[in-house]
Structure formats: structure tokens, C-alpha cells
Amino acid sequence: MLPSWQVDENAVLLTTIDEQGNDRNSSPFNPTQSLYGIHNVIDINKFSRYKTLLRVTAYVKRFINRCKSRHRSMRKCPSKLEPLNVLELQDASRMWLHSCQSTYYEAEITNLKSNEKRLTLVKQLRLFLDEDGYIRCGGRIHNAPLTELTKFPYLLPNKHPLTRLIVLDAHETQLHAGTSALITHLRQIYWIPALRQYVQSLLRTCTQCRKVTGRPYAAPDPPPLPKMRVQDAPPFTVTGVDFTGALYVRNRNDAEKKAYICLFTCASTRAVQLEVVPDLSEESFIQAFRRFTCRNSLPRILVSDNATTFNAAANSIQLLLRSVTIQDTFHSQGTEWRFIPKRAPWFDGWWERMI
Ligand SMILES: [Zn+2]
């Protein structure tokens, strides 16, 4: 025996359509009354996608139709869930449109039915109710070679969750189109007041669009130069030192051989002295440094990197700079050797640019 459904007088009235597409509850079809309250059955705020909302609505409606079916055969649950057809999805879309208009524009509908047309919105947009009970905009393009829907679009409030879902769905369907393209697309079907501002505010929340159109992180302003870079002192008082990469030179026997350049540069005057060295050994560097000090004054501060770079030359420099012999030599001559912080290549920009 089939269960008898309890009748709740406060229950929301839903229109059901039978398998042939005929409305069985109300005749003639009056959506502003019969479909009123779909938002009480399904909470639209729980949906983030318009298509999902339509599919859930269509399935709910199909379930109600089957429950109300008088034929026993139609009550049987199918072994496999039948996919939704286009008509069911379009019907769900119409239900939500009617629900939205009838709840948000209740006063306008009453005004239109009374034929008074005193409300500002009604006069401004030349609103009228079409044969299905939808509120549509009049406009002045009756004679344009456009579809009826474009000439007389449906009115939608911009502060309704349905409008938000429709705009986001159109944005996604149009492959994340910009504001103007999206407005053009939407206005072929809907008229939404203050649409441009609404679309702009919604597009700002789109993650994909922000990834594409977002500006890169702005680098902070460079800080003031350190005191040793700007002080008034003899050349090479503060000196930066570094090696270049390998160069190929020919010796007296016309054989190709690797060579390197040891670069000394002054921090304040930017003077440069280049010393060719045959290799990156400790001995070669000391000889280059002696040649440098013979031509110039002995630097008070010698700055170099930690040589944590990734090439062989840098590794050799690292071994050099850790040498106790070199440290002792410089300390005895009154030269302080400073290392820039590790993994901070911007500290040695003032000699790398000379390299
Ligand atoms: Zn987007």
C-alpha cells in the first residue's frame, strides 16, 4: 500500500509538469503565483554555481512529479538515474527567474497588473508583463533586427543571489571575458540595473582573472647607499674584489690556455684595476694583490663575496678566502677583509656590474 502524503497548508506550492510537458496544477499557467516560493524549497545561498542550482532544482522537481504521479508504473525508481534533458533545465531556470522577480519586484508586479504605471522603475524601463508573467523591459529598439529576448530583456535585480550566479556563470562560459564583453553578453537576455559596477565588483573576486591581470609585487625602493660607498677618501680605500669567469688566451707556444681576471674596484670613485691571473689559486691571487697594491695605495677595507655561487671559479674563491695565510697577510698590512652576507647577491652588485 502506498503511503498517503500529509497535506501541510503552509507548504510551498510547486507547479509540476507531467511527462508530456503539460502543467497539471494550474491552468492557465500563472508562474508569478504558482511558482512563488521556490527559494523556500531550495536555499540559493548554498550554491556557488548556476548550473548546479539548475540541476538540483530539476531533480527536485522530477522527484515531486514522480511522487504525484497517479500511474503506478511511473512511481518505480529507475535502475539508473536518467540524465536531465534540456526542457527540465530550462524549466528550472524559468522557476528561479519567476521566483526572483516575484519576490524582489512585488510592488512593480502589482503596479503593472493594476495598469497604473506610477512607479519610477516601471516608467523608467517601460516594464511590462509578458504572456508568461515575466517582467520585461520595453526600451526603444522594437524595430531593430534582433531577437525578442534582446529587444525586451528580463529584468533582474543586481542584489539577488540568482543574479550573482548568472553573472558568474556567464563569465565562466565566456572564458573569463572582461567587463564590456560580459555586459554585452548578459544584456542579450537580462537587464540588470547598474550592471557595469556590479560586474566590475564581481570580476575583482575571480581568482583566475586576478592571476592574469594582477600586478606583480612591487619591489621596495632601494635603501640609501652605505657610508663606505659615498665617503670622500683616496681611491681604493674601500675595494671590492672578484674573479671573472674563465677566458681563453694563447701562450708563446700558440697553445690555448685558461686565464682569469682579478678585478679590483673602488667603492666610491668606481676606479677599476684588472689583473690577469693564470688560475684561481691562492698564490696567484696574492701576486695579483701585490701588483695591485704596488700601483695603488693599500686598501683599508677589502670586500668580497662568500663564493657560494655555483661555478667552479666561485668555489675556488671560497677556498682562497678561507685561507689562514691570506688573512694573516692582510691583517699584518692593516687591511680588514669583510665578507658580504651569505646568499645575498645584491650586496656585491657594486663590483659585479664592473665584472
Ligand atoms: Zn575570471
195, 158 Cβ separation under 8 angstroms: yes
Instruction: Specify which of 68-82, 91-105, 243-257 reaches the highest per-range mean pLDDT.
Output: 91-105
pLDDT above 60 (res 16): no
The Å distance, Cα 174 to ligand 1 centre, comes to 9
Query: How many other CB atoms are there within 10 angstroms of residue 228's CB atom?
Result: 15
52 CA → ligand 1 middle, Å: 18
What one-character DSSP code corresponds to residue 144?
S
Residue, of 67 and 333, whose pLDDT is higher: 67
> What is the distance in A from the centroid of ligand 1 to the CA of 198?
14
Give percent above pLDDT 70 in the chain.
78
Would you say 306 and 339 are in contact if contact means Cβ atoms under 8 Å apart? yes
Last residue of a domain, one of 100, 122, 150: 100
Nearest residue to 244 via CA among 231, 259, 222, 266: 259
User: What mean pLDDT do residues 309-325 have?
Assistant: 47
Q: Cβ–Cβ contacts within 10 Å for residue 99, how many?
A: 24
Domain extent at residue 333: 230-352
C-alpha cell at 161: 543571489
C-alpha of residue 46 to centroid of ligand 1, in Å: 21
Span 71-84, average pLDDT: 66
Highest mean pLDDT, choosing among 21-35, 190-204, 272-286, 334-348:
190-204
Which of the four pLDDT bands, split at 50, 70 and 90, describes residue 245?
A: confident
Distance from the CA of 159 to the center of ligand 1, in angstroms?
20
Res 208 pLDDT > 50:
yes
The residue among 15 and 110 whose pLDDT is bigger is: 110
Per-residue model confidence as pLDDT tens digits over 81-126: 788 999 999 999 999 999 999 999 999 999 988 867 678 888 889 9
Residue 130 in grid coordinates: 509578458
CA of 203 to the centre of ligand 1 (A): 6
In this predicted model, what pLDDT tens digit does every residue of 144-196 receive, in sequence order?
Answer: 999 999 999 999 998 899 999 999 999 999 999 999 999 999 999 999 999 99
> DSSP 3-state assignment of 264?
strand
What's the CA-to-centroid distance between 220 and ligand 1, angstroms? 29
165 C-alpha to center of ligand 1: Å? 13
pLDDT at 214: 83
Calpha distance 95→86 (Å, rounded)? 14
Cα 154 to ligand 1 centroid, rounded to whole Å: 24
Looking at the domain assignment, is residue 337 inside a domain? yes
Quick check: 75 pLDDT over 70? no
- Final residue of a domain: which of 58, 76, 100? 100
The pLDDT score that the predictor gives to residue 171 is 96
Is the model more confident about 215 or about 165? 165
- pLDDT grade for 33, boundaries at 50, 70 and 90: very low
**Does residue 207 fall inside a structural domain?**
no
Question: Hey, how many other C-beta atoms are within 10 angstroms of the C-beta on 257?
Answer: 13
Model confidence at 72, pLDDT cuts 50, 70, 90, reads low
Question: Measured in angstroms, how far is the CA atom of residue 355 from the centroid of ligand 1?
Answer: 46
Best CA proximity match to 112, nearest among 133, 85, 86: 133
Query: Band of the pLDDT at 73, cuts 50, 70, 90?
Result: low
Q: Is there a domain that residue 217 lies in?
A: no
Q: Residue 326 and residue 332: Cα distance in Å, rounded?
A: 10
Give the per-residue pLDDT at 348: 84
In the reported structure, the alpha carbon of residue 92 is separated from the centroid of ligand 1 by a whole-number distance in angstroms of 25
Give the whole-angstrom CA distance, residue 55 versus residue 106.
Answer: 27
Q: 100: CA distance to ligand 1 center in Å?
A: 25
Query: What is the domain-level CATH number for residue 272?
Result: 3.30.420.10
User: How many domains does the structure of the chain reveal?
Assistant: 2
Query: Which pLDDT score, from 0 to 100, does residue 343 have?
Result: 82
Instruction: Please report the pLDDT score of residue 119 as a whole number.
Output: 85
User: Quick one: cell of 126?
Assistant: 517601460
Residue 146 — φ and ψ, nearest 5°?
-125, 170
Q: What is the DSSP letter of 155?
A: E
Residue 43 maps to a domain: yes
Q: How far is the centre of ligand 1, averaged over its atoms, from the C-alpha of 213 (Å)? A: 10
pLDDT of residue 1: 43
Residue 127 inside a domain? The answer is: no
Q: How far is the CA of 69 from the centre of ligand 1 (A)?
A: 43
Question: What does the alpha-carbon distance between residue 181 and residue 193 come to, in Å, rounded to a whole number?
Answer: 17
CA of 161 to the centre of ligand 1 (A): 18
pLDDT of residue 301: 86
Residue 29's pLDDT is 35
| C-alpha 177 to ligand 1 mean position (Å) | 7
Pairing of strands 301-304, 336-339: parallel
184: in domain: no
Digit-coded pLDDT (tens) for 34-52:
445 688 889 999 999 999 9
Å from CA of 200 to ligand 1 middle = 11
Separation between Cα atoms, residue 126 and residue 111, nearest integer Å: 12
Helices (H) and strands (E) in the chain, counts: 17, 10
> Is a pLDDT exceeding 60 seen at residue 31?
no
Q: 205 C-alpha to center of ligand 1: Å? A: 8
Average pLDDT of the chain to the nearest whole number: 81
Report the separation in Å between the CA atom of 20 and the middle of ligand 1, taken as the mean of its atom positions.
40
Rounded distance from Cα 204 to ligand 1 centre (Å): 8
Last residue of a domain, one of 100, 127, 157: 100
Round to whole Å and give the CA distance between 310 and 325.
25
Residue 14, domain member (yes or no)? yes
User: Which ranges constitute the DSSP H helices of 114-160?
Assistant: 120-124, 148-151
Would you say residue 123 lies in a domain?
A: no
CA 291 to centroid of ligand 1, rounded, Å: 64
